[in-house]
Amino acid sequence: MYNFKGFRSLAALAAITFIVMVFQVTSFAQFESTAESAILIEAATGQVLYEKMQTYQCRLPA
């Protein structure tokens, strides 16, 4: 006999995991998709941990 109850529980767990993963990916991508330029540094060392470069050049005077 198949254990349908166990199968259903597993399927439900997989679905929840999938939804959580999709939500996390969407959430994580927010700062990448919405900001035209962004950077994250650690203050003590000044190390750059993330950088999205601007999409156009600065117009500096010659």
Residues lying near another protein in the complex (CB under 8 A)? 27-28, 30-31, 34-52, 54, 56, 58-61
With respect to another protein, which residue has the nearer C-beta, 6 or 46? Answer: 46
d(CA 21, CA 14): 10
Q: What's the alpha-carbon Rg for the chain, to the nearest Å?
A: 22
Q: Least distance to another protein from the beta carbon of 1, Å?
A: 44
With respect to another protein, which residue has the nearer C-beta, 3 or 27? Answer: 27
Q: Least distance to another protein from the beta carbon of 55, Å?
A: 9
d(CA 45, CA 16): 39
Q: Are 49 and 40 in contact (CB under 8 A)?
A: yes
